[in-house]
Amino acid sequence: DAGITQSPRHKVTETGTPVTLRCHQTENHRYMYWYRQDPGHGLRLIHYSYGVKDTDKGEVSDGYSVSRSKTEDFLLTLESATSSQTSVYFCAISESIGGVAGELFFGEGSRLTVL
Amino acid sequence: KQEVTQIPAALSVPEGENLVLNCSFTDSAIYNLQWFRQDPGKGLTSLLLIQSSQREQTSGRLNASLDKSSGRSTLYIAASQPGDSATYLCAVTSGSARQLTFGSGTQLTVLP
């Protein structure tokens, strides 16, 4: 299994509080991604990173920010959590093969509940 | 904008049956296509990756084919087992080449 660790795995928080989810990889893969998965919407890309300090927005980036100061860590921050951000969040990694994302490997997910 | 569709959304088959899962995509200019499996409450597990230059990939009882021109891929599962019960998703890399677009998945149930 690819070495991807997400933390925390479960979190319950209140509306308006900041939340940070961490993704740590031991594979030295260049690309890292944050997805959310919701019933009826499938997997949706929030943000991704194609290298240290290089990040870009996905299709549902509003209300989220990310940072990548080291190859192995990709942080997802909800500045002020809302109930609509209750979801399961997945981190994923892939190699860059000639600038193209290769095989994608996923973490186990972080279940976030915003009350 | 790339769109990926998987039909049917759910499928139930008896154990031992061979089956085919379908994936279609609207933009044929893809770099690769990947099939995943997701068990309830778990992350996605990569099953097969097909590069755009390939027609098929095999792993054990799984065989994935790719027809870029028609925008279709199939995942063939031979001699299905109850342990194959899961949701199967396909995803394509296209556009910027750094992102994948996912289908909504097919939930497979293999009955003993």
Residue in B41, B93, B102 closest to A42 by CB: B102
Q: Which residue on chain A is closest to B97 by alpha carbon? A: A100
Q: Taking CB atoms and an 8 Å limit, are B89 and A108 in contact across chains?
A: no
- Percentage of chain B beyond pLDDT 90 is 89
Asked whether B99 and B92 are in contact (CB, 8 A), the reply is: no
Residue in A50, A99, A106 closest to B43 by CB: A106
Q: State the pLDDT at residue A62.
A: 96
Per-residue tokens: A63: 């209300």
Q: In the block, which residue shows the tokens 């097919």? A: B106
Tell me the nearest-neighbour CA distance from A30 into chain B, angstroms. 11
Q: State the pLDDT at residue A42.
A: 85
- Cα–Cα distance between B83 and B46 in angstroms, integer? 16
Asked whether A105 and A92 are in contact (CB, 8 A), the reply is: yes
Q: How big is chain B by its Cα radius of gyration, in Å?
A: 13
Q: State the pLDDT at residue B83.
A: 96
For residue B97, is pLDDT > 70?
no
Residue in B97, B103, B105 closest to A99 by CB: B97
